[in-house]
Amino acid sequence: MTENHIIVDHPQTRPGVMVIRFNRPEKKNAITGAMYDRMTAALHEANKEASIRAVAFLGTEGCFSAGNDMADFMAYAMGGGGRPTAADFLQALATCDKPLVSGIDGLAIGIGTTIHLHCDMTIASSRSVLRTPFVDLALVPEAASSLIAPRVMGHQRAFAMLAAGEGFSAEQAREAGIIWKVVSPDAVERETLALAESLAAKPPHALSIARSLIRGNGDDILARMDEELVHFTKQLRSAEARAAFEAFMSRKG
């Protein structure tokens, strides 16, 4: 079933492009541990395979991802498990050697927003909403968003997104520098894949060097991910987080 929730299309379908697609629309593409594992494996494959020259993330119509699956979160918080599977995915995302593009249509919540901070170019539909309600759930920013977001958009907008939990429209996100282009909903997938194909067609070594120079060595990103993870894990198991999760689940019920 997990393979159905994350669909990975290889370059045989689109030359040079791996497509990682969320496909759990009945749950607004909420991400489970098994889904993280599949995406992590796909990114590791992309790094190893020379035939893969770009990776594109897509969701479903009207929803990129509502973030982490809350039932999984509660089970982890109460179980006292080890390293969250999301952490391995985020490390794979931050260390992916291939250009990353993404297409957002509709909801992009929590990690459904912070994924795009690691993408080189993102297309969003005009009806997209990006929101990170970490603090509302008694949690803290993840995916090195506490480092990347202030660099890209400044303290005030980063605080509004990551701490105050304010939603950003697609146009606000574009103005903040975390979205490349805003298009109509029916154009998101087409333009995202066209962008990925365009990057895949460029001289790969030259593109890799250019991307590396633009992004920097990334050690600070990985260090911040580790720092966030310590706080995130502690908060995830806290009484205030459990209360916030239970209140969230009761509202949904």
Query: Model-level pTM?
Result: 0.95
In eight-state DSSP terms, residue 178 is S
Task: Tell the burial category of 108 from Cβ atoms under 10 Å away from its Cβ (0-12, 13-18, 19+).
Answer: buried
**Beta-sheet strands, E only, within 81-237:** 100-104, 107-109, 121-125, 129-131, 168-169, 181-183
| Residue 72's pLDDT band (cuts 50, 70, 90) | confident
CB 219 within 8 A of CB 48: no
Question: Taking the domains of the chain in order of start, what are their residue ranges?
Answer: 2-252
CATH class of 2-252: alpha beta
Residue 169, classed as helix, strand or coil, is: strand
Q: Which among 181, 165, 182, 195 has a CA at the least distance from the CA of 127?
A: 182
DSSP state of 30: P
CB 54 within 8 A of CB 192: no
Which region among 94-103, 210-219, 235-244 has the lowest average model confidence (pLDDT)? 235-244
User: What's the pLDDT tens digit per position in 166-223?
Assistant: 999 999 999 999 999 999 999 999 999 999 999 999 999 999 999 999 999 999 999 9
118-145 average pLDDT score = 97
DSSP string, 111-128: HHHHGGGG-SEEEEETT-
- Confidence check: pLDDT of 3 > 80: no
**Single-letter amino acid, residue 107:** L
10 Å Cβ neighbour count for 183? 18
Whole-number Å distance between alpha carbons of 191 and 116 = 16
